[in-house]
Chains A and B, each alone.
Chain A
Amino acid sequence: MLKKIFAILLALVIVFPLFYNISLSLFSPRDFNTSPALFFPSSPAFENFSRAVSHRYFLRYTINSLVTATLAAVIRTLIVTLSAYAFSFLHFRGKKIILFFLLLSAFIPQDSLLYQNYVTVSRMNLTNTYLGIIITSLFSATQLMMLMTAMKSLSKDTFDASRVDGAKDITILFHIIVPLTKSVIITIFLQSFIGVFNAYLWPLLVTNTPDMRTIQIGVSLMGYQESGRMGPLFATLLIILIPFVILVVATRKLIIKALSNGLSY
């Protein structure tokens, strides 16, 4: 019983930011300056929401985020799957060295190379493009390792049999291997999506037009904070947040199953 009480207390703490965001999104300017802080708005300021959605870039930022995260997740999953397939089932000279070369890159955190990578990407004229936003996150050595582990556990016979039938790589890969390693591939896709969707510093650097900004950097560049218009800021946050809360809670079983396959760091 005591355990249940603590479990509920912890849940209350965890959910508090969400509750408080809902409350803040209805605060009037004066509520923000009231001391001590209020739990609930004095009277709900629904105009915060109309101000939030009428911001000229709100929709654009959101779309940019969804597009870049989806694109990056699709491409990265494809690149990781193709190379995992090659390393697991094909024989070619230098395979071991190339694999070592790829896996060793896990030791190099890209956060430390922000500046050098920015110089590269800008010399390639990729600033303010979707490709520029995602290009440094299109491969992950740890995900390659994860998928290779999953592929290794498959019976070699499955592959050899279809090989004898003269099936093409693409057919084998997408018809036989991918369905068998589906849950790991979904994990890779999800992790990539979350990673790119949450990225902050990199998109801040490679975009400088509002048309290309993502929502992560967009919310702090809507100018709400500097001018003390906090109500619309929290209304904006809530509008972005709610679909994700619903999504996360509704698909929690899938998420838990997918992420329990392992994790890339």
Chain B
Amino acid sequence: MKILRLLPLLFLIPAMLFANGNTESGDVSTVTVWHSNSGVLEDAFNHLVDEFNTNHDDIRIDAIYQGRANDVLTSVNAASLAGSGLPDIAQLDATAGLDMMYAPYLVTVEELGVDTSALIASAYAAYDGMNGHIGVPFNASSLLFYYNADLFEQAGVNVPRTLDEFIEIAPVIHEKTGVYAFSGVPTTYELVSFLGSQQGGVYISDNRNGHDGVSTKVLFDENGTFKTFLEKWKALYDTGAVNNLTSGVSSAFYSGQSASMLASSSNLSTALENTDGLFSLGVANVPMVDDEATGGVNIGGGCLAAFTNSEAVKEVIEYFISPSVQAYWAEHTGYMPVNSKTVESEDWQSFIAENPLYSVALDQALSSSEVVIGLWIPSAYQVYYSFQSTIASVLEDGMSIDDAVRTMADMINTSLAEYTRQHA
């Protein structure tokens, strides 16, 4: 019987079942880094990792792409359930803030003893939690206004500094070029700036946007910032020059179907790659809600959070924030350097002299208020979409602005209360 002759093969199965890719070797300590860099970002990141590995005999970085920042968080949360399998370092963004602040396995920057003296203060402050810093900024970015300079020129308009100016020029662009002046619906990331920058800089929820412990309620209803924003944004939409896209925003922009978009500065290199030869790309500060909105933008992007307290991990993290690494990273991606020595270096100064687009994000961030920081709330990912859907209801379905403010405040307050119920 043929099948009997196959039986010996069955004995190979156990060996295969437990096979895994890990190869541990004696004196080299491997530092596993889960990251979220893809495309041009991954190319740059891998270059940095390779450079580290070539220059170190005793430490090897094992860089693993886990999807986007919130996928990395999902993987970290899943691994933490197992009690094993956590990486040594993970690249996380503000949506991880609350989880990390309370995570028993997190090693804070202070505990790890990383030298942070050269970090740009506001970039470092973005990760300041109640028990210390959850990580060091690595891929710092800020929101930027990307525009199609050719279309703006064709319409004969200037880049708007405020939403009021945008309301004036949007119909002009639409009329003269035939394409939408703007595509997209603001989400949490945009709103932290649109709301937080008002009245010279305000918090969006109490406990310093959740950085000093879980927030108990939102503040944007009481202080009127969400209402002010919605009024302006509705006026902008009512010009008929805005396309409420929720996906494919960047491809609409790259393909010339819309004249501008709001996106993270980390998209700069990708945007240059995608628009090369199609049109001339411009970037500018995010238009502010009104003249009193002087708070600027928050520093977003991501940080490196450590889950292992060791010299090797500390050395890897210090490598990633070192002046030369930050210079290379910023010049190849569009992220802004987080190390003040990078900014002061002649290398960087000559780079931005040649590539002025790369300096906009940093200048904008440096002139922003320290009050405008990332929002650390439970279900951060879900809130992201709630903001979009509520704004879209106001624009498209005639929901009143007061109702929208109440809906959004209720929704977040309920999820804060549910979090507190479960974790009392």
Is A190 an interface residue, CB under 8 A from the partner? no
Q: Least Cβ distance of B25 to chain A in Å?
A: 15
A257 and B131 CA atoms in complex are apart in Å by 64
A67 and B82 CA atoms in complex are apart in Å by 25
Is B228 an interface residue, CB under 8 A from the partner? no
A119 and B81 CA atoms in complex are apart in Å by 6
Q: Least Cβ distance of B279 to chain A in Å?
A: 12
A125 and B323 CA atoms in complex are apart in Å by 40
A212 and B64 CA atoms in complex are apart in Å by 12
Interface string of B68-87 (1 = CB under 8 A from A): 10000001001101111101
Is A9 an interface residue, CB under 8 A from the partner? no
The 8 Å CB contact of A210, one of B39, B65, B79, B82, is B65
Q: Least Cβ distance of B36 to chain A in Å?
A: 9
The 8 Å CB contact of A208, one of B66, B250, B270, is B66
Residue total for A at the interface (Cβ-Cβ under 8 A):
38
A34 touches B17 (CB 8 A): no
B1 touches A175 (CB 8 A): yes
A229 touches B255 (CB 8 A): no
Q: Least Cβ distance of A58 to chain B in Å?
A: 14
Known contacts A175-B1, A223-B42, A228-B251; A127 and B82 CB within 8 A of each other: yes
Residues of B within 8 A of A211 (CB): 20-22
Nearest chain B residue, comparing its CB with the CB of A123: B82
Known contacts A71-B16, A129-B18; A227 and B255 CB within 8 A of each other: no
Residues of A within 8 A of B18 (CB): 129-131
Residues of B within 8 A of A23 (CB): none
A178 touches B38 (CB 8 A): no
Known contacts A208-B75, A208-B79; A228 and B20 CB within 8 A of each other: no
B16 touches A67 (CB 8 A): yes
B38 touches A227 (CB 8 A): yes
Residues on B facing A (Cβ under 8 Å) = 1, 3-4, 10, 13, 16-22, 34, 37-42, 64-68, 75, 78-79, 81-85, 87, 250-251, 254-255, 257, 270, 274, 278
Lowest 8 A-B CB distances belong to which pairs?
A227-B39, A211-B21, A223-B38, A122-B82, A131-B17, A33-B255, A226-B38, A227-B38
